[in-house]
Amino acid sequence: MKPIRVLIVDDSATMRRLIRSILEADQRLEIVGEAGTAREARDAVNLYRPDVMTLDVEMPSMSGLEFLQRLMRHRPMPVVMVSTLTRRGSDVAIEAMSIGAVDCVEKPKLGGGLDGFSKLADTVAAAARARVNDPRRAGEISVSRSNRNYRRICLIGGSTGAVDAIERILKTFPADCPPTLITQHMPAPFLVSFAARLNPLVQPHVGLARDGMPLRPGQVMIAPGGDYHLNITGRTDLRVNLYKGPPVSGHRPSVDSMFLSAVKHAPRMVAGILTGMGSDGAAGMKALREAGAKTLGQSKETCVVYGMPRVAGEMGGVEAWADLDKFGETLLHLCETPVKAQVT
C-alpha cells in the first residue's frame, strides 16, 4: 500500500519539525513537503499533490481560516487543523470544521506524551481517506414544524466530520424539539466553542450539559468533555449525569458511555450515530436497539469517515439509515413513535 502523502503547514519552523518527527514515525505516512506561509502552502499543494494537509489555525498575512476557504473553493482536499486550546484557537478550529476541515487536533507539545502523538498520526491517516464535503453544495435546510407530539428522547453521537453534520441536523430541529443529548469527540475547549457557535444558529437552546439538568423539550445538551462522560440518570424524571471516569471505548467523552447509560430507558430513546472513525457507540447502540430503542445510522454515502456507523451496522445496532440531509427529520419522526410500556 502506498504511504499517505502529507503536507505540513505551520508558520513555526520548530512546530513543523515536531509535527514532522511525529508523523514520520508512522509507516503509513510520508511527509512530502512543508510550508510556513499561505503562499508557500498554495505552491506546495500544486507541486506535491498531497493526500492530506495539516494546517495551523493562526498564520501570518493570511489566516489559516482564510486559506482553508480558498483551498476548499479551488482544490478541495482533506485538511486537519492544528490548534492551541485557547478560546480563540478553539473558536477558529470549530469554524474551520464547519467550512470543510475534516478534523482538528491540539498542537503537540514536547514532553506531551505518546498518546497525543499517536492521536495526531491516527487523525491524519484517517483524514486522508475522508470524503471532503463542499459546504457550498449543501442543500437548503428547513426547520421542521413545531407542536409535534414527541414521545422520546434523542441521543446523538459523532466524531470525525460530525461538527458540520450536527450543525445541519440541529438546523432542522424546531424550538420545541425533543430533549437531545450529544456526545462529540473533541477536547473540552473545542466543545465550549462548538456549543457557543451552535446556539445562535438554531431554534432550540444549545449548551454544555451540566450535572443534574432535567431533560426537557427544546434543550440540546452537549457533553462538556474533559474528565467527564455525558450519561443519563433517574427513573421517570430523567436527568443529566456527568460521570467522572476513565475513557470508554477509547474515548472521553464516549458515545458508548452515553448510550449504555440509557439502556434501562431504551423504549423512550432514539439514538443516532454519525460519521467518525473507530467503533465508539456501536456496542451501546446494539444494546439500546435490543432493549427497545429506535436507532438510526448515517449513510455511507454522506459520511466523511464511515467508521462508527459501519461498525454499529455490522453489530446489528442500526435499525434504519438516512442521508445527512434527511437525518434530522428522520430523528424527529422516530421521536414521535409510540413508546411501549416498560415492565418494572
Tell me which residue of 275, 270, 251, 245 sits closest to 259, measured CA to CA.
270
Is residue 33 a contact partner of residue 58, using CB atoms and an 8 Å limit?
Answer: no
CA atoms of 71 and 94, how far apart (whole Å): 17
The two most distant CA atoms of the chain are separated, in Å, by 66
Looking at residue 36, the DSSP 8-state letter turns out to be S
Backbone angles phi, psi at 50, to 5 degrees: -70, 160
Place of cell 456507523: 309
Is residue 82 a contact partner of residue 55, using CB atoms and an 8 Å limit?
Answer: yes
CA atoms of 190 and 253, how far apart (whole Å): 13
- Chain centroid offset of residue 198 CA: 13
Is residue 343 a contact partner of residue 201, using CB atoms and an 8 Å limit?
Answer: no
CA dihedral 159, 164, 168, 170 (to 10 degrees): 60
Tell me which residue of 17, 259, 246, 19 sits closest to 119, measured CA to CA.
19
CA atoms of 259 and 169, how far apart (whole Å): 19
Kind of pairing, strands 228-233 and 239-244? antiparallel
Active-site residues: which are they? 159, 185, 280
